[in-house]
Amino acid sequence: MEGIFRSLQNPNYRIWAAGALVSNIGSWMQRTAQDWIVLTELTHRNATAVGIVMGLQFGPQILLLPLTGFAADHLDRRKLLFCTQAAMGLLALGLGLLVVTGLVRLWHVYVFAFLLGCTAAFDSPARQTFVAELVDERHLPNAVGLNSTSFNAARMIGPAIAGGLIAGVGSGWVFLINAFSFLAVLCSLSFLRLDQLKPGHRAVRTRGSFVEGFRYVLRRPDLKVILLMLFLVGTFGLNFPIFISTMAVSVFHAGAGQYGLLTSMMAAGSVTGALMAATRAKPGIPVLLAGAATFGGGCAVAAVMPSYMLFGLVLFVIGIAAQTLTTSTNSLVQTSTEPGMRGRVIAILLAIALGGTPIGAPIVGWVADTFGPRWALGVGAAAGLLAAAVAVIYLARHRHPALDAGSA
């Protein structure tokens, strides 16, 4: 196990990881509460409304792409994270006060989701690439894997806590607790040992530097196929708030606590997948193929599960597969991209992974409302299997020893 957690030997990474874990738990609590109030308090089980919220929250990843990648490559990432994390905390506080006072309306959630998405669009590339300043290059894949482990451990803990709080004291307090959880990551950024940071090569500010990020990707066949796979699964497959909430409420007639438990069961699989990813020195496209195929097959099986418990068990497998795909993609892209281009390429990756949500989430929500939640899961299954087919075609045409070697 020491090999899995080797990045934690670095003091700066330990400080950062501790603060991030607390903040991630709060963020997952808010996501659970947000989906719940939209589905059960502000609408009558309207999955399309949940899809719209997701679209507004993740759409800025595409809208602001020219700025977010530039910021991650050219600005001081630590100072940028101070600003974005503080802003997200204030947004959580504002929405929480509206919910607690009973003044919240659906359009308020739409507005706050969009503002949070704009802030997160700057935060995500900086946060993903900031880890390269905390650890040595040889420990980067491990640190990326541990970041995902923390994120998904929070996904396992946060929704379960949120479900209990919603049932006990109401949804509003979940948002307020999340607002204060951002203090943890702000403190961790303050406590970092600045003399031990490893600032990477800063990109030169030139005209057209944003376009150069796309040119760099287009010159790399491996990056193109990786990002295409991520687009397919991210757009039509990673819509778990819709899948889980509609299956819980409409199919299994579950309450808030049971809904939170389902999310935690899938998150437990995600933690397992992230720990598996942390053990790999460097992943390869065959690993992505396995993750996509398992994800597609898992969604297909979940769609026909007859009981709440069996559905939850399949979610555990889906969590492993989804995390294998996303974490391995992040690690592979970061380790195979030039440091000066890393921020822009990661911004493109995040725009594809999250920015596809405004396209896919409303479609998946409409399918759930029109044909039922099981058919919506079928859309996710088709996306995973199609992504697997893309990887098969690539491996048949291009075999890169440098990439394939990391998949063993």
Residue 347 scores a pLDDT above 90: no
pLDDT in tens, 266-314: 878 888 887 887 777 677 889 999 999 999 999 999 999 999 999 999 9
In a domain, 85, yes or no: yes
Last residue of a domain, one of 142, 170, 193: 193
Neighbouring CB atoms inside 10 A of 21's CB total 21
For residues 295 and 328, is the Cβ–Cβ distance under 8 A?
Answer: no
Give the tens place of pLDDT for each residue, 223-237.
Answer: 999 999 999 998 999
DSSP string, 267-302: HHHHHHHHHHHHT-SS--HHHHHHHHHHHHHHHHHH
| Alpha carbons 394 and 61: distance in angstroms, whole number | 27
Domain-located, residue 353 = yes
Q: Is residue 200 part of a domain?
A: no
Q: Residue 406: what pLDDT?
A: 38
Question: Using a CB cutoff of 8 Å and minimum separation of 24, what contacts does 61-64 make?
Answer: 61/117, 61/120, 61/121, 61/124, 61/350, 61/351, 61/353, 61/354, 61/355, 62/351, 62/355, 62/358, 63/121, 64/118, 64/121, 64/122
Lowest-pLDDT range of 7-11, 49-53, 247-251, 335-339: 335-339
Co-location of 155 and 212 in the same domain? no
Of the candidates 168, 119, 160, the residue with the CA atom closest to the CA atom of residue 31: 160
383 part of a folded domain: yes
Confidence of residue 3 (pLDDT cuts 50, 70, 90): low
DSSP annotation of 138 reads G
**Cβ distance 322 to 291 under 8 Å?**
yes
350 CB-contact burial (10 Å; exposed 0-12 / middle 13-18 / buried 19+): buried
Maximum average pLDDT range among 20-24, 86-90, 246-250: 86-90
Based on the fold, state whether residues 271 and 320 are members of the same structural domain. Answer: yes
Classify residue 271: in a domain, yes or no: yes
Among residues 334, 66, 72, 337, which one has the least CA distance to residue 208? 66
Q: Is residue 163, in this structure, part of any structural domain at all?
A: yes
Q: What is the distance between the terminal CA atoms of the chain, rounded to a whole angstrom? A: 19
At position 385, the amino acid (one-letter code) is: L
The mean predicted confidence, pLDDT, of the chain is: 85
268 with 388, same domain: the answer is yes
Nearest in space to 351 (alpha carbons), one of 59, 140, 56, 67: 59
Query: What was the pLDDT predicted at 264?
Result: 79
Domain match, 310 and 349 both: yes
Give the residue carrying structure tokens 């759409």: 59
pLDDT value at 2 more than 70? no
Last residue of a domain, one of 166, 193, 220: 193
Residues 145 and 294 in one domain: no
pLDDT score of 111 = 96
The reply to whether 78 and 221 lie within a common domain is: no
Please write the tens of the pLDDT for every residue from 377-408. Answer: 999 999 999 999 999 999 998 765 444 433 33
One-character DSSP codes across 11-59: HHHHHHHHHHHHHHHHHHHHHHHHHHIIIIISSSS-HHHHHHHHHHHHT
Q: Quick check: 220 pLDDT over 60?
A: yes
- Does position 101 have pLDDT exceeding 80, yes or no? yes
Residues 228 and 176 in one domain: no
Q: Does residue 407 fall inside a structural domain?
A: no
- In the structure encoding, which two tokens stand for residue 308, read together? 């709440």
In a shared domain, residues 185 and 252: no
Query: What total number of domains does the chain contain?
Result: 2
Claim to verify: residue 248 and residue 177 sit in the same structural domain: no
Which of 156-160, 170-174, 211-215 has the highest mean predicted lDDT (pLDDT)? 170-174
Query: Nearest Cα to 95, choosing from 104, 84, 86, 87?
Result: 104
Q: Is 257 exposed, middle or buried (0-12, 13-18, 19+ CB in 10 A)?
A: middle
| Mean pLDDT along residues 113-120 | 94
Separation CA 181–CA 184 (nearest Å)? 6
pTM for this predicted structure? 0.71
Query: Average pLDDT for residues 140-158, to the nearest whole number?
Result: 80
Residue 403's pLDDT is what?
A: 44
Q: Which domain holds residue 336?
A: 208-398
What are residue 4's phi and psi, to 5 degrees? Answer: -65, -40
43 and 145 in one domain?
Answer: yes
Degrees (nearest 5) of the Cα angle 231, 380, 274?
70
Q: Look at residue 100 and tell me if it is in a domain.
A: yes
* Same domain, yes or no: 236 and 114: no
Arithmetic mean of pLDDT, 18-37: 90
- Residue 368: give its domain's CATH number: 1.20.1250.20
Q: Are residues 179 and 277 in the same domain?
A: no
